[in-house]
Amino acid sequence: AQKVTQAQTEISVVEKEDVTLDCVYETRDTTYYLFWYKQPPSGELVFLIRRNSFDEQNEISGRYSWNFQKSTSSFNFTITASQVVDSAVYFCALSGSNDYKLSFGAGTTVTVRA
Amino acid sequence: DTEVTQTPKHLVMGMTNKKSLKCEQHMGHRAMYWYKQKAKKPPELMFVYSYEKLSINESVPSRFSPECPNSSLLNLHLHALQPEDSALYLCASSGRLGGSPLHFGNGTRLTVT
pLDDT tens track, chain A, 114 positions: 799 999 999 999 999 999 999 999 999 999 999 999 999 998 899 999 999 999 888 888 899 999 999 999 999 999 999 999 999 999 999 998 877 789 999 999 999 999
Q: Rounded to whole angstroms, how far apart are CA atoms B92 and B24? A: 9
CA of A97, closest CA in chain B: separation in Å? Answer: 5
Coil/strand/helix, residue A30: coil
Q: What is the mean pLDDT of residues B16-23?
A: 95
The per-residue pLDDT for B1 is 52
**Cβ distance of A45 and B104 shorter than 8 Å:** yes
CA of B63, closest CA in chain A: separation in Å? Answer: 22
Q: Rounded to whole angstroms, how far apart are CA atoms A10 and A5? A: 14
For residues B49 and B105, the answer to whether their CB atoms sit within 8 Å is no
Looking at the DSSP assignment, which residues form a beta bridge with residue B49?
B32, B54
Helix%, strand%, coil% for chain B, nearest 5 = 5, 55, 40
CA of A98, closest CA in chain B: separation in Å? Answer: 5
**Chain B CB contacts of A101 below 8 Å:** 45, 48, 56
Q: Rounded to whole angstroms, how far apart are CA atoms A107 and A109? A: 7
> pLDDT category, B2, cuts 50, 70, 90?
low
Coil/strand/helix, residue B83: helix
**Cβ distance of A45 and B56 shorter than 8 Å:** no
Residue B97, CB-side half-sphere exposure with 13 Å CA sphere: 9
Tell me how far CA of residue A109 lies from CA of A49, A63, A71, A91, B35, in angstroms. 18, 18, 26, 9, 20
**Chain B CB contacts of A91 below 8 Å:** 42-43
Coil/strand/helix, residue B58: coil
**Cβ distance of B97 and A101 shorter than 8 Å:** no
